[in-house]
């Protein structure tokens, strides 16, 4: 088992190295604008541009630039400085990670709490009116873009512009340490909006898995032994059917921790996604690169965690 874990960790480090190289090529070798010009502004003279290029190391060979970037990143966690605000990229990411974690974790909890009961009900009574109603609602949720759902939710329920003001609107996020209750209420609407699409996907996936699982021989054997239908579903049907959902949830959580750009932008949540959006608007390459690397790290870590979890549950995975 230890050897398997070590192999997965080494593979994750290699992937991070490849992602860092790819982002460096995209943002420094093939830029759409001159980083020195972005730093100096439109009125920068040739001498100023040359000085900025020298200070940033842009006048050195590309291999030297990448090695310097990699060395700073590995030894000091240094991702450079923002071209727009001149702030440390690392400090910007640390300041924004809290809201993103709050949004992502809460959304995962919401969509699992919603999707699992809906998927179970639809699987137990397939092709019934309740199954058609829930799966029709799931299909509708899948068809609606997140940004449209968010704007409609603000229009209807926000306490500033909503027709039925029930919840705090855009820009009302409050840190957990400042006020737990205000933090909770400020995230209810973003959680529901972000979880709507995922809940629909998970409900449909669980329904299909559970219908297939309930037709297995061991489930029929459990029924033949006289176990109640509730026990058969919860003890024998649900765990294997929900296994793929847990895998998918881990990967989706990794993606969301890298920043839910649309949701954070619509609701004014100062997270990683909003930071990435602002960096794209201002062509702030170091910040974009930092957010991309952070997102890649979360996805890789989530993938490794899921693989290790499966290795504990199924020893056959360890030899793969």
Q: Domain of 270: which CATH number?
A: 1.10.3720.10
Per the CB < 8 A criterion, the answer to whether 107 and 191 are in contact is: yes
Express each pLDDT in 98-149 by its tens digit: 999 999 999 999 999 999 899 888 888 888 888 888 888 888 888 888 889 9
The answer to whether residues 48 and 193 belong to one domain is no
The answer to whether residues 229 and 97 belong to one domain is yes
Per the CB < 8 A criterion, the answer to whether 79 and 89 are in contact is: yes
The answer to whether residues 187 and 222 belong to one domain is yes
Task: Show the domain range for 170.
Answer: 90-288
The answer to whether residues 97 and 71 belong to one domain is no
Q: Among 40, 67, 86, give the residue marking a domain's end.
A: 86
The answer to whether residues 122 and 45 belong to one domain is no
Four-CA torsion 173, 179, 184, 189, nearest 10 degrees: -20
How far is Cα 5 from Cα 27, in angstroms, rounded to an integer? 33
- 202 domain residue, yes or no: yes
The answer to whether residues 206 and 114 belong to one domain is yes
User: How many domains does the chain contain in total?
Assistant: 2
Closest CA to 52 of 66, 65, 37, 62: 37
Measured distance between the N- and C-terminal CA atoms of the chain, rounded to whole angstroms: 12
313 — pLDDT class (breaks 50, 70, 90): low
- 311 domain residue, yes or no: no
- 299 domain residue, yes or no: no
**Three-class DSSP category at 267:** coil
- What is the predicted pLDDT for the residue at 84? 78
- What is the predicted pLDDT for the residue at 185? 93
- From residue 312, alpha-carbon distances to 9, 54, 222, 244, 308 in Å are 16, 52, 26, 15, 6
Residue 154 has pLDDT above 80, yes or no: yes
- What is the predicted pLDDT for the residue at 312? 66
Closest CA to 20 of 77, 59, 61: 77
- What is the predicted pLDDT for the residue at 180? 92
What mean pLDDT is predicted for residues 265-283? 87
- 213 domain residue, yes or no: yes
What mean pLDDT is predicted for residues 312-319? 56
More confident residue, 81 or 5: 81
Residue 32 has pLDDT above 70, yes or no: no
- 316 domain residue, yes or no: no
What mean pLDDT is predicted for residues 41-49? 70
How far is Cα 107 from Cα 181, in angstroms, rounded to an integer? 17
- What is the predicted pLDDT for the residue at 234? 82
320 — pLDDT class (breaks 50, 70, 90): low
Express each pLDDT in 205-255 by its tens digit: 999 888 888 888 888 888 888 888 888 888 888 888 877 787 788 888 888
The answer to whether residues 182 and 102 belong to one domain is yes
Task: Supply 13's token pair.
Answer: 């480090």
- What is the predicted pLDDT for the residue at 283? 76
Q: What percent of the chain has pLDDT over 70?
A: 90
The answer to whether residues 69 and 213 belong to one domain is no
Per the CB < 8 A criterion, the answer to whether 92 and 274 are in contact is: no
Q: Among 68, 86, 104, give the residue marking a domain's end.
A: 86
How far is Cα 171 from Cα 264, in angstroms, rounded to an integer? 9
- 260 domain residue, yes or no: yes
**Phi and psi angles of residue 88, each rounded to the nearest 5 degrees, phi first:** -65, 130
**Three-class DSSP category at 163:** coil
The answer to whether residues 185 and 233 belong to one domain is yes
- 296 domain residue, yes or no: no
DSSP 8-state secondary structure symbol assigned to residue 319: G
The answer to whether residues 281 and 244 belong to one domain is yes
Output the average pLDDT for the chain: 83
Q: Among 86, 101, 131, give the residue marking a domain's end.
A: 86
- What is the predicted pLDDT for the residue at 44? 65
Express each pLDDT in 165-201 by its tens digit: 888 888 889 998 899 999 999 999 999 999 998 999 9
The answer to whether residues 14 and 117 belong to one domain is no
- What is the predicted pLDDT for the residue at 188? 93
DSSP letters of 224-249? HTT--HHHIIIIIIHHHHHHHHHHHH
SS percent in the chain: helix, strand, coil, step 5: 75, 0, 20
Q: What pairs with residue 167 in β-bridges?
A: 158
311 — pLDDT class (breaks 50, 70, 90): low
Task: Supply 232's token pair.
Answer: 């058969």
Query: Which of 41-55, 101-115, 276-290 comes out lowest in average pLDDT?
Result: 41-55
Number of Cβ atoms within 10 Å of the Cβ of 217? 7
- 318 domain residue, yes or no: no
The answer to whether residues 138 and 23 belong to one domain is no
């Amino acid at each position: 088992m230890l050897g398997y874990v070590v192999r997965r960790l080494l593979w994750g480090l290699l992937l991070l190295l490849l992602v860092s190289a790819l982002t460096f090529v995209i943002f420094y070798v093939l830029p759409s604008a001159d980083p020195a010009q972005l730093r100096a502004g439109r009125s920068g003279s040739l001498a100023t541009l040359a000085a900025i290029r020298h200070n940033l190391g842009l006048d050195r060979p590309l291999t030297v630039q990448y090695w310097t970037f990699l060395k700073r990143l590995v030894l000091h966690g240094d991702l450079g400085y923002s071209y727009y605000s001149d702030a440390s990229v690392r400090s910007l990411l640390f300041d924004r990670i809290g809201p993103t974690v709050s949004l992502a974790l809460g959304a995962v909890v919401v969509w699992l709490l919603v999707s699992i009961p809906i998927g179970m009900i639809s699987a137990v009574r397939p092709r019934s009116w309740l199954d058609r109603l829930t799966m029709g609602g799931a299909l509708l949720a899948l068809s609606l873009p997140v940004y449209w759902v968010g704007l409609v939710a603000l229009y209807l329920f926000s306490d500033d512009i909503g027709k039925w003001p029930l919840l705090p609107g855009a820009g009302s996020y409050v840190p957990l340490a400042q006020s737990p209750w205000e933090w909770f209420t400020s995230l209810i609407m973003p959680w529901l909006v972000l979880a709507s699409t995922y809940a629909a996907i998970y409900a449909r996936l669980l329904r299909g898995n559970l219908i297939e699982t309930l037709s297995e021989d061991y489930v029929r054997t459990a029924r033949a032994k006289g176990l109640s239908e509730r026990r058969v579903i919860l003890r024998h049907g649900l765990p294997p059917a929900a296994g793929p959902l847990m895998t998918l949830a881990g990967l989706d959580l990794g993606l969301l921790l890298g920043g839910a750009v649309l949701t954070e932008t619509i609701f004014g949540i100062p997270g990683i996604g909003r930071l990435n959006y602002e960096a794209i608007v201002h062509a702030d390459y170091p910040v974009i690169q930092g957010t991309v690397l952070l997102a890649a790290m979360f996805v890789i870590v989530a993938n490794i965690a899921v693989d290790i979890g499966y290795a504990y549950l199924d020893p056959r995975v360890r030899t793969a």
